[in-house]
Chain A
Amino acid sequence: MAEAPPETAKHVVYCGVCSLPPEYCEFGGTTKKCEEWLQKEHPDMHERLYSEDALNANMATLSVEAQQRAEKDAKKKAAKAEAAEARLAEEKASAVVNIKRVERNKRKFVTLIQGLEAQGMDLKKTAKDMAKKFAASASVTKIPGGGEEITVQGDVADDVWDWLVEEKGVNEDNIEITEDKKKKGAA
């Protein structure tokens, strides 16, 4: 190894589906999708990795028994990955984002947004984005019943709605806006 000539950095392609180098896709559980992705993005590599010869060569190095075990394992993994994905998609489809306008002090409002984590968003980052977008302070606060919500200062309920639908791709039907007036007795 010490004699290895200095080489410059290699450029490595990573699979767009499972993020591994494409040659390891077969162990990832999403092999089917990975293959399709590779075929589209890097046809030459696809040719090399998924040709008949390559597959046979892979198989030849293992004993029959080991092959069967590996295959069984791979199937299980694939099924698991699929199930997880389906569940995630379902959760995302059914989860409701709740936007609430709360009166803080007669004409002052805060906007509370709940349920964003189910849409696969990182609350802390989203809060930061919102703060920038709406030029208002936004923070992640704990709610008494457990879980967290984003609090944005000011009445931005409708803006948040637009923003979520347009930029974050949240389904319109999954967003609810409610108004909560009586937080404190109006002075």
Chain B
Amino acid sequence: MFKKDFQAGSKSKVKSSIQRGIRQKVLETYPLLEPHIDEIMPKKEQLEVVKLPDRTSLYTIPNIGPLFYQHIDDPFLPHLTLIHRFPDAFNRMRIDRGAIRFVLSGAALMVPGLTSAGGRLPGEAEEDGQEYKYGKEELEVGVPVVVEAEGKEHACLVGLLKMGTKEMREKKKGVAVENGHYLGDGLWKLQLD
């Protein structure tokens, strides 16, 4: 989605009633953020919305940084910096090492990267005692996921699932996440002042 670098469009303040609505929606989508929400979006801070190309809006708080972005009426997706700060609050999966470089150059994430030995899908036990680090439940199509990488601590991609995790395990083929926000893309490099 943000493969090309771009300039931020107009910036405007969000009405406080709408700000409450956003807060509500975010909590609905990411219930695990509940304990942190006051840290992420302090009630007193003024939320700002920045228009991005392709009818995407980015919600930020000045001095704290970008928080979420939204493409038209899709679910709110967290900015990667936010994910790095609260990695445990999202649906996660892991890709193998070989796939990292494709993800970081903006390719769609393909299923084999997740189903191979280095990848992890929710519902798979970890061998080193950390059971179900990636959750137990199967995820459906259209659910926001955070993608981590084998041997890395931080997430490298966030996007909406194109295929349910169950189907992935059966097919082992096809596109898993398309049009996500990845490390080093236009949104990552975006300068807000």
A residues at B contact (CB < 8 Å): 1-2, 4, 6-12, 18-21, 23-24, 27-28, 57-58, 61-62, 66, 70, 73-74, 125
Q: Which 6 A-B pairs have the closest CB atoms?
A: A1-B135, A4-B88, A6-B35, A9-B85, A12-B84, A21-B154
Q: Choose from B87, B98, B183, B188 the contact partner of A62 (Cβ within 8 Å).
A: B98
Interface residue? B118 (CB, 8 A)? yes
- Whether A125 and B97, one on each chain, are in contact in the complex, defined by CB atoms closer than 8 angstroms, is no
Total of A-B residue pairs, C-beta within 8 Å: 75
**Contacting residues of chain B (61-76) with chain A, CB-CB under 8 angstroms:** none
- Whether B98 and A2, one on each chain, are in contact in the complex, defined by CB atoms closer than 8 angstroms, is no
* A2-B32 contact in complex given A9-B39, A62-B98, C-beta closer than 8 Å: yes
CA distance A20 to B51 in the complex (A): 24
* A1-B134 contact in complex given A7-B88, A9-B86, A24-B104, C-beta closer than 8 Å: yes
* A61-B118 contact in complex given A9-B86, A21-B84, C-beta closer than 8 Å: yes
- Whether A10 and B101, one on each chain, are in contact in the complex, defined by CB atoms closer than 8 angstroms, is no
* A1-B91 contact in complex given A9-B86, A19-B184, C-beta closer than 8 Å: yes
Closest to B118 in A: A61
Residues in B with CB closer than 8 Å to A24 are 100, 104, 152, 154, 156, 183-184
Interface residue? B36 (CB, 8 A)? yes
Secondary structure type dominating chain A contacts: loop
CB of A185 to closest CB in B, whole Å: 41
- Whether B39 and A8, one on each chain, are in contact in the complex, defined by CB atoms closer than 8 angstroms, is yes
* A1-B154 contact in complex given A9-B86, A12-B84, C-beta closer than 8 Å: no
- Whether A125 and B193, one on each chain, are in contact in the complex, defined by CB atoms closer than 8 angstroms, is yes
CB of B167 to closest CB in A, whole Å: 20
**Contacting residues of chain B (125-172) with chain A, CB-CB under 8 angstroms:** 132-135, 150-154, 156
CA distance A12 to B152 in the complex (A): 13
CB of A46 to closest CB in B, whole Å: 15
- Whether B150 and A21, one on each chain, are in contact in the complex, defined by CB atoms closer than 8 angstroms, is no
- Whether A20 and B86, one on each chain, are in contact in the complex, defined by CB atoms closer than 8 angstroms, is no
**Contacting residues of chain B (12-42) with chain A, CB-CB under 8 angstroms:** 32, 35-36, 39
CA distance A74 to B102 in the complex (A): 11
- Whether A61 and B150, one on each chain, are in contact in the complex, defined by CB atoms closer than 8 angstroms, is yes
Residues in A with CB closer than 8 Å to B84 are 10, 12, 21
CA distance A163 to B135 in the complex (A): 57
Residues in A with CB closer than 8 Å to B183 are 20-21, 24
CA distance A125 to B151 in the complex (A): 41
- Whether B101 and A27, one on each chain, are in contact in the complex, defined by CB atoms closer than 8 angstroms, is yes
Q: Choose from A10, A19, A66, A73 the contact partner of B87 (Cβ within 8 Å).
A: A10
Residues in A with CB closer than 8 Å to B153 are 21, 23
Q: Mind listing 18 A-B residue pairs with CB under 8 Å?
A: A1-B134, A6-B35, A6-B36, A8-B36, A9-B36, A10-B85, A12-B81, A20-B183, A20-B184, A21-B84, A23-B154, A24-B104, A24-B156, A28-B104, A57-B151, A58-B151, A62-B98, A70-B98
